[in-house]
Chain A
Amino acid sequence: MAHFKKKRGGSKQEVPTSAMPDVVFMLLFFFMVTTVLREVTLKVRVNLTQAENIEKIEQKRLLSYVYIGPERLPGNQLGEDKVQIDDAIVEDIGAIRNLMYDKLREQPKLIVSLRVDESSEFGLLTDVQEELKKASAFRINYSTRREP
């Protein structure tokens, strides 16, 4: 009896923690890979407007963004309204057609998300839309925030 008791007292009560760093590292890598810190550096100011009747777009990989807004100039100043696609400002509106056409070939179900500054004028937007039509990128989305 006494012998039995002694054996019990000697057994370990702790959970083995040696594999913990591995588990944590695995989680860490998962989040590092999924985190998108910022896709592009915005060269134009985009303050989104608000709307009530909006839809969610969950298929993020179908999306391609077009930013329209006043250009950010050095010294916190704002310039003329410009169009930005990917990382660069597109000066020639006619070039949008080819850009979008290439994107459409890569992703046939492309949705063009237009992120337009609330104070930008409709004229530039309609020029961009005309180019999108010519590139056959018909599915668009006006990005807005939910009205509180």
Chain B
Amino acid sequence: MLLKKRERESAEINGSSMADIAFLLLIFFLVTTTINVDTGIGLVLPPPLQEDQEPPPIKERNLMNILVNAEGRVLMDDQPYQLTEVKERLKEFIDNPTNDPNLSESPDMAIVSVKTQRQTPYRIYVDMLDEVMGAYKELRDAASRANYGVPFGALQDDSPQYDQITDMYPKKISIAEPGDN
């Protein structure tokens, strides 16, 4: 009698709640997963200068010297400006629509040099760089709209159109060694 009863008992573990447990874990990982993309300002550094190598000659009119001090004051080619004015001023310098002999010969020859002090907080430096990037972005956008009728961001990377716009407005940004004064 007793033996018979034992035989009937199920030897398996109850697996019906397994799905619930798995679901709970699944939801946890779904919530904690962040497929985050890194955003930022991209830049390509120049190769280091050799000791005996002279810096390449640049025409004065093609170079825009921007100086930012630790307090966030801006000098562009020795003229003081507000940070908010930098973008408009740069667009004028790069594009040079009036063919001013003091501004760059053509957009692809324009070089923007950003120089700051060692004490400058990173925030001010990035704000400055952001303005420079903004100027280039707006110029590229305008050129892309005029030629292809779409904003620059809509062009496919490495497509002929994309390359043409980037050739028209190459980002030539030089980060100068910081001065001490």
Contacts and interface: CB of A to CB of B under 8 A. Distances in A.
Do A and B assemble together? yes
Interface size range on A against B: 35 or more
A21 interface: yes
Interface string B35-48: 10111111111111
Nearest to A145: B39
Contact of A125 (B22, B37, B39, B122): B122
A117 to B, nearest CB: 7
Interface in A1-47: 17, 20-21, 24-25, 27-28, 31-32, 34-35, 37
A21 B25 CA distance: 12
Contacts, number: 146
Given A24-B19, A138-B46, A56 B122 contact: no
A109 interface: no
Nearest to B49: A133
Chain A interface SS verdict (over half): mixed
Interface stretch (A57-65, A71-79, A87-95): A57-65
Chain B interface SS verdict (over half): mixed
Nearest to A126: B178
A113 to B, nearest CB: 6
Interface in B95-133: 116-123, 125-127, 129-130, 133
Contact of A142 (B15, B25, B32, B126): B126
B33 interface: yes
A142 B37 contact: no
B154 interface: no
In this complex, the member of B15, B29, B175 whose beta carbon has the largest number of chain A beta carbons within 10 angstroms is B29
Given A118-B121, A123-B118, 5 more contacts: A20-B19, A54-B133, A121-B120, A121-B121, A134-B48
Interface of B: 15, 18-19, 22-23, 25-26, 29-30, 32-33, 35, 37-48, 116-123, 125-127, 129-130, 133-134, 137, 175, 177-178
6 contacts: A31-B33, A55-B39, A56-B37, A60-B37, A120-B121, A137-B45
